[in-house]
Structure 1
Amino acid sequence: MASCKMQMILALCPFVMLVTIPATYGWGTDGHSIICKIAQSRLSNAAADAVKQLLPKWVEDDLAAVCSWADRVKFRYRWSSPLHFINTPEICSYRYSNEDGVADRCVAGAINNYTSQLLTYNSASNEAQYNLTESLLFLSHLMGDVHQPLHVGFAADKGGNTIDVHWYKRKAVLHHVWDTNMIETAEERFYDSNVDSMVDAIQHNITGEWAKEVKRWESCSLNKTACPDIYASEGIKAACDWAYKGVEQKSVLEDDYFLSRLPVVHRRLAQGGVRLAATLNRIFG
């Protein structure tokens, strides 16, 4: 697996089909904030200190405040747009391979590359700290993106971006339903429109209902620091089993869809937060 350590980060994702870049904002601002809040609460002392040193001073040690930074800089860093997603062929499985020797950029490769960059933290010069700050912000954001099922969706519909639906009475595209609509609807209906209340509910499940699964979520095969292939494999399965299932052009998505899919949203947000923390803990020791 090759990577290019330049301002433009390159990753080998040959099985991935790179098509016209859709306007994707994985999980929306609240979703990314939830993931970063969960992650920061689970950092080791060493990782918490490194994150504090790398974060811009003005955020006052609040990773969630800049968890959507990578979306906001897409128009300045145009090369970064493909790093937010993987467009897979129209099959419900994922494989990261270099069999065809075609170099593409994608979220799995970007997670590997930014992880590698952050591993230089203890030996980096002061001049390199700015680049490592950007690496931290990209990694924190992209770890969320890879857990949004439609960021590992089909190339044919650009991860649900070309599937027009109605979210209750409002026009939307399927991708945006998963990025934003379901989280906002859940906040309004169950959490008094308070993102921190939703974080608390997910944290309660992490230490309760899902407690026996957390170690497996945190683990990484073959002593790797990050395992985006695992996260992406889960993502395309969730996309097929839940996001795409039963949806056609002009479908009206209401309570049947929302209430049956919300547990999947909660779980993927939880996994993203737990795994971001575990990855940062491995990076910073």
Structure 2
Amino acid sequence: MVVLWRLSSLLVALALVLVPRTHGWSKEGHVLTCRIAQGLLEPEAASAVENLLPDYANGDLSSLCVWPDQIRHWYRYRWTSPLHFIDTPDDACSYEYSRDCHDTHGVKDMCVAGAIQNFTSQLEHYREGTSDRRYNMTEALLFLSHFMGDIHQPMHVGFTTDEGGNTIAVRWFRHKSNLHHVWDREIILTALADYYEKNLDSLQEDLVGNFTNGIWFDDVASWKECDNLLPCLNKYATESINIACKWGYKGVKSGQTLADEYFNSRMPIVMKRIAQGGVRLAMILNLVFGDSQQGFAAAT
């Protein structure tokens, strides 16, 4: 059984994070995931999210979606560091929860799939009101929202030895990078510069258009299918490792220069994963906070 984690109160310094390094999707990727999700929330879920956000967020979930990256190396939150990814056996190109969801010490459930399950379970207690003080609901919301982005970043379900591509040094056009960072941020930034004049709103508009009445419209219903949370998370992680093998690692060697061919063929995949993460995050929040009180069969 997945363990419920107890969190202490949210740091006052949450709004003043100074750590510049990011992990998972870049800031832009996480912002897009959370913006898409918040735009798809039903009234009850939208109200709950706004209620849980601190006042300085001004009701904008995306403004704090990078927070779990920024605090993961703080002493107080160091335990969250393994929750951002899943390491799978080298070249296996497969994912199994029982085999792969653990930290480097073998502690079970300490991976991004286990984290999403746990923080969703915590948010299930939101309806019990302020009398339930076991969990910090604001932190649970922020972790869930962030990790739903991470599980859709294909290289976050990568190979163990190369740390999801982090140790595979490459050049991205004219500058040094690594394969993990290419998927985290380089592809997104290049797309923003080449096609959107660095305007994130324009990119978001295109992504939303693609699933509301565009090329992904017929797929959205299947993206949102989920009655039992953990099998759904296993599906999302399996999608990611399959993409990592077929499109991330394939044909890439350390020291290689990745440029137009790699960008043009991988960019649509990155954009679809961001959209899927947003749609699915909204699905989870709508189920958890909705007035139907349906919730998930696996979330207790």
Q: Identify whether the pair has TM-score above 0.5, normalized to the shorter chain.
A: yes
| 1:103 Cα deviation after fit | 2.9
Instruction: Tell me, yes or no, if the aligned pair for 1:225 and 1:282 is still in contact at 8 Å.
Output: no
Instruction: Tell me, yes or no, if the aligned pair for 2:83 and 2:112 is still in contact at 8 Å.
Output: yes
- The aligned counterpart of 1:210 is 216
Q: How many residues align?
A: 269
Secondary structure of the equivalent of 1:3? coil
| 1:99 Cα deviation after fit | 11
| 1:100 Cα deviation after fit | 11
Equivalences for 1:200-239 in 2 at 5 Å?
A: 200-207=205-212, 208-220=214-226, 223-225=227-229, 227-239=232-244
Secondary structure of the equivalent of 1:97? helix
| 1:127 Cα deviation after fit | 6.9
Give the distance between the partners of 2:50 and 2:267, measured in 1 at CA. 33
- The aligned counterpart of 1:74 is 72
Counterpart of 2:114 (choices 109, 113, 123) is 109
Counterpart of 1:259 (choices 264, 269, 283) is 264
1:24-57: per-residue Cα shift (whole Å, max 9, x none)? Answer: 6011100000000100000011100000000111
Equivalent position amino acid for 1:41 in 2: G
Give the distance between the partners of 1:196 and 1:277, measured in 2 at CA. 19
- The aligned counterpart of 1:97 is 98
TM-score, length basis structure 1 = 0.90
Give the distance between the partners of 1:277 and 1:270, measured in 2 at CA. 11
Determine whether 1:178 maps to 2:188: no
Equivalences for 1:38-57 in 2 at 5 Å?
A: 38-57=36-55
- The aligned counterpart of 2:277 is 272
Counterpart of 2:153 (choices 148, 167, 179) is 148
| 1:189 Cα deviation after fit | 0.4
Instruction: Tell me, yes or no, if the aligned pair for 1:40 and 1:48 is still in contact at 8 Å.
Output: yes
Query: What is the alpha-carbon root mean square deviation over aligned residues?
Result: 2.0
Give the distance between the partners of 1:71 and 1:98, measured in 2 at CA. 25
Give the distance between the partners of 1:232 and 1:114, measured in 2 at CA. 17
Equivalent position amino acid for 1:59 in 2: A
Give the distance between the partners of 1:103 and 1:36, measured in 2 at CA. 29
Counterpart of 2:34 (choices 29, 33, 36) is 36
Task: Name the CA shift for 1:127/1:3 in 2 (closer, same or farther; >3 Å).
Answer: closer
| 1:5 Cα deviation after fit | 2.7
For structure 1, which runs of at least 5 residues remain unmatched after alignment?
9-22
Equivalent position amino acid for 1:75 in 2: H
Secondary structure of the equivalent of 1:165? strand
Instruction: Tell me, yes or no, if the aligned pair for 1:225 and 1:283 is still in contact at 8 Å.
Output: no
Task: Name the CA shift for 1:224/1:181 in 2 (closer, same or farther; >3 Å).
Answer: same
Task: Name the CA shift for 1:72/1:24 in 2 (closer, same or farther; >3 Å).
Answer: closer
Counterpart of 1:128 (choices 130, 133, 136) is 133
Task: Name the CA shift for 1:154/1:80 in 2 (closer, same or farther; >3 Å).
Answer: same
Instruction: Tell me, yes or no, if the aligned pair for 2:64 and 2:142 is still in contact at 8 Å.
Output: yes
Give the distance between the partners of 1:66 and 1:100, measured in 2 at CA. 26
- The aligned counterpart of 1:5 is 5
Instruction: Tell me, yes or no, if the aligned pair for 2:32 and 2:274 is still in contact at 8 Å.
Output: yes
For structure 2, which runs of at least 5 residues remain unmatched after alignment?
9-20, 291-300
Give the distance between the partners of 2:139 and 2:73, measured in 1 at CA. 15
Give the distance between the partners of 2:243 and 2:22, measured in 1 at CA. 18
| 1:124 Cα deviation after fit | 3.6
Instruction: Tell me, yes or no, if the aligned pair for 1:35 and 1:269 is still in contact at 8 Å.
Output: yes
Secondary structure of the equivalent of 1:187? helix
| 1:224 Cα deviation after fit | 1.7
| 1:6 Cα deviation after fit | 2.4
TM-score, length basis structure 2 = 0.86
Identity of aligned residues (%): 49
